[in-house]
Structures are given as structure tokens and as C-alpha cells.
Amino acid sequence: MKNTKNILEILSLLIVLILLCFAIFLDLNKKDKDKFDINNDINDAQIEFFKENFDDKIQYYDWENYRNDKYKFGIQIPKEWVTKEYENNIYFGPQNSFSGGGFWGVSVYKISESKKINEIISSTGMQFGDRKEQIININSFVKKIIVTTEEKSDWFSEKYIIYSKDYIYILGNGAIKNNKFEMFFGSFGII
């Protein structure tokens, strides 16, 4: 009788361990699905969303066009803002905002550097112990990432990741919530 009881306890423990391992596997599998998996077969129809003639986009009243022929994109920014370029990063903001890197930015990566994107996303807000990340798939080539924390309630990172045939563009809000950032994103065009 004692042997039967020991065997049942061992079997119960084994079943619990198997279920725990299965739950961990499912959670890890879900996290892997949230990571970006670039589709190298992006076609012209997919990027037509951004491929409107940039110069023909609706012009915001007090904004002006910024055009970057090197990285093949254009975007609108408030007229009084300045632009600073550093390597593959283009920063936009009032002149006095550049001690912290500007208000908003566009970082550009070659399509072959797509593995860096997951590192960038996972490092955003890592200084906070209660970091919360939300990934929103807008479509097959645009994702929106929001990272927040309760430790600093006014810290709000919003990024759009846009895939084209040649580049991956990351539009970031500098972790400052601003409703006009949606206009910034909406004015983005591939040229």
C-alpha cells in the first residue's frame, strides 16, 4: 500500500511538472510570435499605403516637408522645428530640445538588419522595473509599439515600425506623449 501511495505521489508530481513545462512553452511561443519576422517578399502593392507621391500629400497648415533622398522617405514637421542627422538617425524638434536628442525621430535600418529591431524594442524602457509593452499590428508591414511604466507616469514611448523593400523605418516620439505625433506618422511617405 505504501509503494502504491509513493508511486501515485511521484506520478502526480510528474504530471504537474509536465503541465508546468507545457505552460512555459506556450508562453515562450507566444512571445516569439510577437517578435518581428520580416517578410522579405514585400511587394509594391503592400507599400502603396506609403507610396503616394509624397509632395502630393495633404499639407498640414503649419508644417513643412522634410525629404531624405538617401533613405528614400519624406515626412512633415512643424515649421519652427529643426532637423539634426546623425548616422542613420534623423531627429526633429525645437532648437532647445536637442540636448536630449530632439522630440521625434526616424531611425533607418537596411532590411538585412531586421534582427536589430527586436533588440531595439526590448531595450525601450528597460530602465523601469514595471515596463509594459504593447505591440499592435497595423498591417503586414507596419507595427506600432507602445511602452509605458507606472514608475514615471509621463513617460510614454510610441514607435511605428515600417518595412519597405530596402529599409526599415522606426518613427519614435521621444517617450513624450503628444497627439501631433500621429500627424507626424500619418505624413510619412516613401519616395
Residues 57 and 142 in one domain: yes
Query: Mind listing the pLDDT tens digit for each residue in 66-88?
Result: 999 999 999 999 998 999 999 99
Residues 92 and 159 in one domain: yes
Residues 57 and 99 in one domain: yes
Phi, psi torsion values for 48, nearest 5 degrees:
-60, -25
**pLDDT per residue of the chain (191 residues) written in tens, 0 to 9:** 566 766 766 666 667 566 555 556 555 544 444 444 444 444 454 455 555 545 555 566 689 989 999 999 999 999 989 999 999 999 998 888 776 666 899 999 998 888 888 888 889 999 999 999 999 998 888 999 999 999 999 999 999 999 988 899 999 999 988 888 988 998 898 88
Residues 135 and 50 in one domain: yes
Task: Give the CATH number of the domain where residue 110 resides.
Answer: 3.40.1000
The candidate with the shortest Cα–Cα distance to 84, out of 191, 174, 176, 175, is 174
Residues 79 and 100 in one domain: yes
Residues 76 and 16 in one domain: no
| DSSP secondary structure string for all residues of 85-98 | EETTEEEEE-GGGG
Residues 81 and 151 in one domain: yes
Full-model pTM: 0.72
Q: Domain containing 15: what range? A: 1-34
Across the beta sheet with 104-110, the strand order is: 82-86, 89-93, 104-110, 167-172, 156-163, 142-148, 132-139
Residues 58 and 143 in one domain: yes
- SS3 call for 35: coil
Residues 56 and 133 in one domain: yes
Structural domain count, the chain: 2
**pLDDT, position 31:** 46
